[in-house]
Amino acid sequence: MRSRGVNYLLTSPRCARVLLVSVDSLRKHYDGNVTIFATDDSRECAAIVADQYRCAVRSIPPIDTFPNSVSYKHYQYTLVKTAINLWTDYDSTVFLDADTIVLGPIDALFDVELGFVARGMLLDESSAATRMRRAIKRLRYCSPVVEPLSQRTIVADIPWVNSGVYTFASNHPAIREWFYLTMGLAAYRVHEELTFTLLIPDWKEDITFLDPAWNAVHTSGYWFKAIIRHYPDKRWHRCGTWRRAWQQCNLELREAVRAASARAAETRTARTQNTGTA
Ligand SMILES: [Mn+2]
């Protein structure tokens, strides 16, 4: 039988709290394999969550060993996110952002070869989509090699996907291409959602556009039908549902994660002061 599992990514100890809430919610509905990919400075936090909820932890190589890696933190995350898909331990993988909350069984996701939630729009249907189309058009100036990719995506009415929740068969070639394209465009700080959008015309037959209930943001109209809620605007702590989920987590565990996260932040500050660089 094909192996199945859920992957998470933790690249900053500051996000350990959201990870705890997401894994806690997942474990109410799912009993199977879970792997947390963690950077060195996040490892202690990841280990606390992993011990409690029967997860595996895997180390991510230092970011400066990635070719074309850029210094800006957000885009490092972008590149790492596409890299860990290549290292998945499972034949069938569901990736969940740490800023998600699982509200129901997720087993149906494992049967999807390549699945993303479209952001509920084609590229010409809203102002957000207009911004997206502009971003894709701008890519033409990166390199003549990118121009045809950009052009065909614009003309093909490709939906813009969100990469907070997705599912893939590990041997699907799109997963490798996604990493290479993201790496190739890293210097231009192209977000991984955008690089995947550029690849969709190649894999349109294989991609299942999942029901938005699998990745519901509060503006989408699917919030109250959600199986997985996603808090991508980094304001989870202001949201009542997220705060309640946090308060439902074991108190000792919350404190352990908080303490580990604070220690990691201190270590980082000390290192910065010692070397004089950020
Ligand atoms: Mn997210």
Radius of gyration of the chain (CA): 19
99 CA to centre of ligand 1 in angstroms: 5
What stretch of H or E contains 10? Answer: strand 4-10
Averaged pLDDT for residues 11-21:
94
Contact 19, 45 (CB under 8 A): yes
* 153-193 pLDDT tens trace: 877 777 778 899 999 999 999 999 999 999 888 878 888 98
Q: What is the rounded distance in angstroms from the CA atom of residue 214 to the CA atom of residue 99?
A: 13
Is the pLDDT at 31 greater than 60? The verdict is yes
What domains appear along the chain, each with residue ranges and CATH number? 4-115+165-187+219-275 (3.90.550.10)
Phi, psi of 167 (to 5 degrees): -140, 145
CA–centroid distance, residue 82 to ligand 1 (Å): 14
Candidates 166, 234, 169, 216; CA nearest to 196 is: 166
Distance of CA 216 from the midpoint of ligand 1 (Å): 11
Render pLDDT for 51-100 as a digit per residue (tens, 0 to 9).
Answer: 999 999 999 987 777 776 676 666 778 899 999 999 999 999 999 999 99
Q: How far is the CA of 231 from the centre of ligand 1 (A)?
A: 6
Residues with CB under 5 A from ligand 1 (ion): 97, 99, 164, 232
Q: What would the pLDDT profile of 228-257 be if each residue is shown by its tens digit?
A: 999 987 778 788 889 999 999 999 999 999
DSSP 37-64: EE-GGGHHHHHHHHHHHT-EEEEPPPGG
